[in-house]
Amino acid sequence: MTIKIYQFPTFRIERQLFHTPGAGYDGGLTSGGAQFISPEPGGFGVLEIAPAIIDTEWDVPLASWVMSKISGQVFRVRLAPSPQVAYSRKRGMMAVPWDNGQSWSNQEDWDGDFTATFAAASLKGTTTVQFDLTGVGPIVGPGHVIGHEYDCYLVDEITYDGDVATATITPPLRRDVGAGDNCYLRPWFTGRISNGGDIRDAYNSLGHVKPGNIILHEAIV
């Protein structure tokens, strides 16, 4: 069975954070709560997005559409330029489009879209990768994100040999990496919305819409 993957819509945001909480996460129905263990070895990724006020909802009801997809549907999200995206800072710009044709409205051609290449093969499940930053230099550090295909990873530790980086990442690789594969400095994230009720609580239909925080948990597909 093929899983339908939706493209997450583009709208203004106030903040965004990718993090990897590890193998455990809070929850449960007991009075004291409980902590579950992730079925994914090494934990999982989480992307939190705080939308800004949306003043186009009456014309293009994207927020309403997102709120209808909270029953396990899978989204593919391109991370917006932020402090976690290394190349945004390198270029001296933060979340600023540079393309005169303004295709950035579709999450393309933002300053921060530099693509490196993986310098060596790494197997699924490992936590060490090598990538070549020739052209921009050693700009990636702990706390930055990188991506392979449609998976996002947080850099925990990194060393350099010239422009070639060796990094320890979390979560572990979700698929094999080949030498020469693209290494995205503004990666994609694939996940499911886990807090649908919170998103709807802050919604109104008075023209200016501000959905609540959106939390997506990683979906491995």
- Total count of domains within the chain: 2
Give the CATH number for residue 51.
3.30.200
Instruction: Kindly report whether the global pTM for this prediction surpasses the value 0.85.
Output: no
Confidence at residue 25, expressed as pLDDT on a 0 to 100 scale: 53
**pLDDT score recorded for residue 98:** 43
Shared domain for 103 and 123, answered yes or no, is yes
Which two three-digit tokens encode residue 104? 């950035």
pLDDT score recorded for residue 103: 46
Amino acid at 53: I
SS3 sequence of 47-103: EEEEECCECCCCCCCHHHHHHCCCCCCEEEEECCCCCCCHHHHHCCCCCCECCCCCH
Report the b/e string of 4-24 with b at 16+ CB within 10 A: eeeebeebeeeebebebeebe
Nearest to 146 by CA among 49, 161, 122: 122
Q: Which residues pair with 122 in a beta bridge?
A: 177
Residue 88 located in a structural domain = no
Instruction: Note whether 55 and 106 are same-domain residues.
Output: no
Amino acid 63: pLDDT: 81
Are 164 and 158 a contacting pair, CB within 8 Å? Answer: no
Long-range contacts of 4-7 (CB under 8 A, 24+ apart): 4/73, 4/74, 5/74, 5/75, 5/76, 5/190, 5/221, 6/69, 6/73, 6/74, 6/75, 6/76, 7/75, 7/76
Residue 23's pLDDT is 58
Which pLDDT does position 57 carry in this prediction? 78
Q: Which two tokens stand for residue 151?
A: 């998976």
Q: Could you tell me if residue 87 is inside a domain? A: no
Can you list the residues of the chain whose pLDDT is less than 70?
Answer: 1, 22-41, 88-112, 202-207
Same domain, 131 and 196: no
* 101 lies in the same domain as 173: yes
pLDDT tens-digit map of 109-122: 554 578 999 999 99
Instruction: Provide the residue range defining the domain that includes 66.
Output: 1-27+34-79+188-221
Say whether both 39 and 110 belong to one domain.
Answer: no
Looking at the fold, whether 55 and 6 belong to one and the same domain comes out as: yes
Q: 49 with 104, same domain?
A: no
Report yes or no on 172 lying in a domain.
Answer: yes
